[in-house]
Each structure stands twice: as C-alpha cells, then as structure tokens.
Structure 1
C-alpha cells in the first residue's frame, strides 16, 4: 500500500504538472556556478583589489548579495562537492576524501544511500543538467545521469586538460574523454569556453519548455593544469610570474564563460526569475612545504589555502543573484554554507525533503531581507587524513586543530581577528569548552570514512592486480595438456 508521504508527493507533483500545462509554473530556475581552487582575492567583488578582471561576476555580485562569511564544508575538491550536491555534511556518510576514478569498483563513488538535490528537483518537474567536473564516481551507477541529471557534458574525474588535442595524464595513468551523457564526446575549443557554450545552448533550448530548469555549472577552472589561450595570456602580459599570469588568464576565461550563461538567460527572458549561486569549491592553492611551486593563487587576506581548515581553505567567494527577489547591492554578514544551496533550491521548488536530513538552511528569508539573523549559529569541519583534524566556527569565535606552521591547536576571536593572525588558545577556556561541545554534538551524527584516500586506494588496487597476475603466472607454469 502506498505510504501517505508518497501519495502527497505525487499529488503535489500533479499540481505542478497541471500548473505547467497552463503556463503558470513561476518557480525559479536555479543555476549553481562552482569554480575550482579559486583564490579568495582573485575576483573583484571580494575586496576590489585583485589584478584579475572578473566583470561579469562583479556585476552579479553588485546586483545581488555577497555572502561575506560564505563557507564550503571541506578544504578540497571531492568532499566539498559531495556536501554541496547532497546538502549534507559529507562526514554524515563517510566521504571525506577524493573519489578515485575506478569504473570497475561499484563502491568508489558518492554512496548510493545519498540522494542528490538535483534528483529531488527532478521529482517535482525540474529539468536538470551538469556541465564540467563530476568527481563523484566513475562506475555507471555513480555517473551524473544516474544521480539526478537529465543532461551531462563534461568529464568524470577531478581534472582535465583545457586545450583540444592535448593530453592530460590523470592520477593513476588513465586518460578520460569528455562525455555527453553516457557517450564519448569532443571539444574543439578551450575547455572552459566549450563547457560554457554548451550550457548557454542548453539554456536556449530548455527555456522554450514550460518546466523550470536547474544547471550545475561545475568548472574545473582554474584548477591545474595551468593552460590558457594566447589572447587571454596577452591581457595579463604585465604579470611577470608565468604561473600567476596563466592562472589569471584562466580565471578571466571562466568569467567570460559565465557571461555566456548570463547572456543566454537574458536573451531567453529567464534572467529575472533565475536564482544564481557562485562560489569556489575550496580556497586557492598555497605554497606549503610539500607544494612549494603552487604560488599562483591569492587567498589574502586569509591564511593558507586549499587543504587548510583556516579561512584560506574554507572561506570562499560566494554570491547569490536573483533580480526578482534580491535587492541590489546586499552584503550578508551571517554564516552561510554551501549546504544552504540544496536547502534553498528544494524549498523554492516545493520538493519533498522529509527524508533528506539536510544540514543546510533555506536562505530565502535572509537574501530577501525578511530575516536579519545569521543563517547558522555554527559551522563544522572534519578531516580524516589524520586523527584530530577539526574546526568549528560561530559568529564570534573559531576553534580548530591542524598541524600547519605556527598553528596546531588554535582559537581565534573572529570579531577582532577575522583573518586569524592571533592565536589565543588557552586564554578563553570556557569558550573553548563550549565550542568543543558544539563540535562533539555535531560529530555524534557522523561516521568514519568508507573510502580510502586516492594514494592508499591506488596502492591497494595495484597490489590486487599484481597478486592476481602472479597467481595466473603460476597457473600458467603447469604442464601443458595434450590431445589424446
């Protein structure tokens, strides 16, 4: 017998379909634009001092809302994207490391216990598409078309070459093609531009239908390898450092690609009723002792960068734009998380979230000015590369532990010291205990990693294949058999 919740969801869906048939579906389109390894100070809207030109992003920010305390859930790619796409802290389902591309492994991907929020949008009539980087599993059942997307144009792993005809050798020695849905596709221009152009075409096609749409514009820019077209490089000839110059050109090309999407939305008449989010999946690369050559990103005024639980690793450029609802020029100081994108999208779509166990907050009241409170009282982080790597941030304080230079156990007054220059650990024991309790209570609902980190996984996989080959080699030494 059908459960009541299922009957209600189907009834709601039928109402949506009926309204759509009458041309009355006024729910917003939703576009999530995600940059990869973007430095906090490498877009104009964060503090206006960058040498990189990002006019299209700056215009979105000026006409929308800037989240001055916008955060992601993890300081590097895969886990951060897992949190965003599910609306749940990735520690809830044990995915705190990068997924290895291993299409024969039916477990190496975003756990099937988790439903993505695009899949929930599909259930209430949204058309859904992803362009660019997936990085949440290569086996067929993990791929985008099986995880909530009607259309996919991009690549399955965490990186790709940008220039057509060139080969970027991925970790582990595999070579991955560009995909269109489940088949191999091509790109014949700079990849960032190709992805943007395909997304613009999708907007042009889909805007002619009655249904609202969701787009996940998942750029790999400006993630390595550092590659950019000559015309963009020439714009930054004044930057002496070659790596920084190329990186700047890559960010510029991404900004221009975002402009393609905005122009397509405008031309199709969809811009006013489209909620656009832009953010980075984590901070830009930082030249740690183990990455001394990674000098091209600028995370200032924050400390460190990618892989750090300091602000430089998890505090990211983050904006929302929705002309129909958001007053121009807003700046929101409360704590905002990438998790909120799912909660906001599903609330606006009227989706069923009773079983979703979302950790995010619907931001509608905050971006429209109806609420002056902080969306979150506290945000939390955990890393499983080693024991005891954690962070918790309230509106006024931050407590963390990570063995980085001049860091370790640290406590910061985020009102007086938002850029974490003065470690006062041990000076406020009562507040430290309070934040520790908040983190421990949050952590009770988490689980340990269910997947190995990339390097450890590849070693185990290589050992398996080596052992299998040696076993077959021994079998091959057995005496030959003959026809009698």
Structure 2
C-alpha cells in the first residue's frame, strides 16, 4: 500500500477512535427537588409518601448518607450547585429576586456554570424548571451555557395554568398584610413559562409539564447531553391534583397530604424521564444525580404554618445549620459506572456534581477553579479517602455558619431573625449524628482544630454583594415611588408659558 494511502487509513482509524471515545462519554442529568424533607422519600425511610421511581434509582445506584448542599435555602444553594464553587467565593448569599430590567441582579457573569463547561466539550445542555439566578438578559439560561431552557426565571411559580398573568397587584390590598408588598407578584411568580427566550405553552400541572419536557429533551438529544431538571416541587404554594391528594387520605394533616401529593407527582415525572432514557437506548450510560436544594421547611416566626415536612431523624430544617437544613436526600445512579446497592457514608457536597460531570465528560476546566470532586473513584472504592477534609456553609457574611469534617461538626446557629449573637455548638458526628449532645465545653482542642479549618477557608471568601429578595423588592418599589415624587415636585414648579 502506498505511503499516502497508509497515512490516510491511519488518520481515518484515529478519527474513528476519537469519535468512539467521545460518544462513549456518559450523559448527565441532575434532578433537584425544592424544600424536600430528608424523610419524605422512601429510600430514606418514609412509609407515608410513595416514591417508587426514586427508590428504584437509589437501590440500583448509591445513597449518600451524608450529602450536603452549600446553603440552607434556595438561591445560594443553586449558585453553588451550578458553578461547583462555594457561592461565598463570589458573594451570592441571599435569594435573587426576579428583576427583568436589572442587569446586575443575577449569578455574577465571571462565574462559569456546568452548562458552560459541558457545552464547550460538545454536550447538548439544557435546564428545565426553576432558574432563580437572574431574570434579565445577561443572566438568562441561554446566555449562561444552556442550549435549551423551558421553565421560569423566578424563585417560584404557581402549579396550575389558570393563575398565569402578567398583571397582578404589587401591593396587598386586604388582610393582615394590606399595604405591604405582595412577594409572589413582585417575584413574577404568575408570569407565563418560557421556552428559550419566548413565552411557552403551559396547559397542565406544572410538575408534569416539566417532566414531559425533560423526557422529550432526553429522547431528542442525538449527542451526549447534560440536563439540569430543577423542579419547584414540593416548595409552596401547596397545590396538587385532586386525585393525587386523595391518594394520601391516610395522612392526617391537610397540608401534609397536599405536600405528599406534590412529591408523588415529582416521582412519577422522574419515572417519565427514566422511561425516556430506556426507550432511546441511553439508560445504561446516563449518570443521574438527585438531591434537594435544602432541607424541608420548619416552623419559625412569621412562617408558623410551615409544619408539614419531615426531616427526621435530624433536627431543624430549611434555613438551619443543624443537619435537617443541609443534609439532604442525595443519590446517584449510573448502570455503567456505579455498582447497585452502594451506600456511601463520607460527607459529599452538591459541588461534587459539577466536579464529576466535568471530569467524566472532559469538560472545560478554565476560569474560576471548581471546588467539587469527581465522586466516582470514591463511590467505587478506587479511592478510600474522604472526598473532602471538610465541608463548609456560610450565610450572609457569617450570620450562621457550619464546618463538617468526617468526624465532627462545629456550627453557629442564631434563631431566625434573632438579635443575639448565638453560641457555637460542637458535635461528634460519628457517635452522635443527630446532634443531641453539644460537646463544645468538653473538647476545646477539637473546637480549635475545626475553627482553624473554617478560618483558612473563609479568608478566601468575599462579602455578600446582593439584597435579600424581599428587601430588594421593597427597595425597588420605593425607587419608583421616590422617582415619581421627584417628578411630581418638578411638575409642581411648572409655570405656564405665555404665548404672544
């Protein structure tokens, strides 16, 4: 064979091999629930709420017994997840509000999402559901690394299409809060859903609509894909189809019955996505992560009615530094790469999802450093060390904080809206995983060790750069009020022009 022909043949073999390697890369799906209680899924022990599709994924994959998010409520937790970096590194420690005309209110533009990193590696990227990371043009998902978007930009949305409207009073007109801002209206909760940059159809229960769209995305993808399926279930408002609520008549409290029905719908929707993977031949080589953005809600001043989630056996819930606020339902499933029936006990972080995707999919590693780890070697036992020396949480410049090592946990938790400084607590997480015995006075050396780890980590953080959503809404309303007053004052000084 002539040399030229042999070189051409070798080149073809090389290109074919590279193509085969590229196509052998796994698909990725991360599914995030919203305000899901630790004990409100079957794989964590619930006998009240039925989650057979999630339980099947858990049984055939890995359950992380100590899976942590990076913040105890919605927006900052999502900022950490989507960047693979502690959000305190770039000053996002509060919820953004939906503000379509503010080009500063959103995930800082210098931060790369896992969408950016996987898109650069040739993946088809998508987000379906709740965004909550900025509503103006620069922050739109299509401009943050995602080829496809179906969902809503705000931090919440009603579940039935009959409430969709652009027009809603921004100030509450009646009741005990009359005269105060209407949070949901100011958050654009009632606006139509979007598909990419346009308004989209929404003609069924929201959780079902998101699930159906995710299944379609999976089926239609003809190259490796990375999908972020961000349900707002079971976050309030508590709304569910009547027939699903009736399924849970064995639960005494009405609010918890509706909450259970919302989780049931989400579980069925996840089943739709899994079935789509199987039908399109992508099931075996798709890595799925499932977790909640924080713990289930708990009653607190001003939110006394939020008593329907179950975070047992842990104390606390959403907003809390104890386990119920940040140790969440967390599993992974990948038939081709994770042995069925695995249980993993070392602490892992939501940051590790980006770390795993980028490592396995040969994603872009440039820009701000990823702090999450590739979990696969740890899950399979190839690496027997803990993935992290410690996991950290910080709320609003350190109002509340937590450091968790494999053996211990040091935290400061101030009661909601309390003025006092609070007192640090220390727990032995090996022998006291439910945090019942504060040993801070008995273990000064351990306290000092964890405090040093915390201080070394915290010195690389920046201050919180944004207003909490409710305060932002009040400030925005006052801006327009003051602007009008200023214009009225100018108008009052007007003197008629005399025409001769």
TM-score by length of 2: 0.90
Structure 2 distance, partners of 1:91, 1:419, is 27
Q: Which residue of 2 aligns with 1:274?
A: 286
Whether the aligned pair in 2 keeps the contact of 1:53 and 1:252 (CA below 8 Å) is: yes
CA deviations over 1:320-372 (Å, ceiling 9, x no partner): 00000111000001110000000100011112314331111111201222122
Q: Which residue of 2 aligns with 1:172?
A: 186
Q: Residue 337 in 1 paired to residue 349 in 2?
A: yes
Q: Which residue of 2 aligns with 1:422?
A: 437
Q: Which residue of 1 aligns with 2:57?
A: 60
Q: Residue 130 in 1 paired to residue 127 in 2?
A: yes
Q: Which has the larger Rg?
A: 2
Q: Residue 464 in 1 paired to residue 485 in 2?
A: no
Change (3 A) 1:26 1:455: same
Structure 1 distance, partners of 2:423, 2:459, is 23
Whether the aligned pair in 1 keeps the contact of 2:154 and 2:187 (CA below 8 Å) is: no
Structure 2 distance, partners of 1:71, 1:459, is 32
Superposition pairs for residues 72-471 of structure 1, below 5 Å? 72-167=69-164, 170-172=184-186, 174=188, 175-206=190-221, 209=222, 211-384=223-396, 387-404=398-415, 408-471=423-486
Whether the aligned pair in 2 keeps the contact of 1:19 and 1:25 (CA below 8 Å) is: no
RMSD of aligned C-alpha atoms? 2.0
CA shift, 1:187, in A, is 1.0
Q: Which residue of 2 aligns with 1:480?
A: 496
CA deviations over 1:245-291 (Å, ceiling 9, x no partner): 00000000000000000000001000000000000000000012332
Structure 2 distance, partners of 1:276, 1:146, is 24
Whether the aligned pair in 2 keeps the contact of 1:333 and 1:374 (CA below 8 Å) is: no
Structure 1 distance, partners of 2:311, 2:164, is 30
CA shift, 1:176, in A, is 2.0
Counterpart secondary structure, 1:342 = helix
Unpaired segments of 5 or more residues in structure 1? Answer: 1-14
Change (3 A) 1:482 1:322: farther
The more displaced of 93-102 and 346-355 is: 346-355
Structure 1 distance, partners of 2:14, 2:425, is 50
Change (3 A) 1:16 1:246: farther
Structure 1 distance, partners of 2:16, 2:138, is 32
Q: Which residue of 2 aligns with 1:12?
A: none
Change (3 A) 1:146 1:132: same
CA deviations over 1:227-261 (Å, ceiling 9, x no partner): 00011111101212100000000000000000000
CA shift, 1:465, in A, is 1.3
Change (3 A) 1:234 1:53: same
CA shift, 1:172, in A, is 2.2
Structure 2 distance, partners of 1:408, 1:231, is 47
Counterpart secondary structure, 2:163 = coil
Whether the aligned pair in 1 keeps the contact of 2:68 and 2:350 (CA below 8 Å) is: yes
Structure 1 distance, partners of 2:304, 2:34, is 20
CA deviations over 1:53-83 (Å, ceiling 9, x no partner): 0000000000000011100000000000000
Structure 1 distance, partners of 2:269, 2:18, is 31
Change (3 A) 1:18 1:224: farther
Structure 2 distance, partners of 1:76, 1:268, is 35
The more displaced of 360-369 and 429-438 is: 360-369
Unpaired segments of 5 or more residues in structure 2? Answer: 1-12, 169-183
Structure 2 distance, partners of 1:413, 1:16, is 55
CA shift, 1:23, in A, is 8.6
Q: Residue 29 in 1 paired to residue 44 in 2?
A: no
Whether the aligned pair in 1 keeps the contact of 2:164 and 2:191 (CA below 8 Å) is: no
Whether the aligned pair in 1 keeps the contact of 2:164 and 2:192 (CA below 8 Å) is: no
Whether the aligned pair in 2 keeps the contact of 1:17 and 1:125 (CA below 8 Å) is: no
Counterpart secondary structure, 1:245 = helix
Whether the aligned pair in 1 keeps the contact of 2:399 and 2:414 (CA below 8 Å) is: no
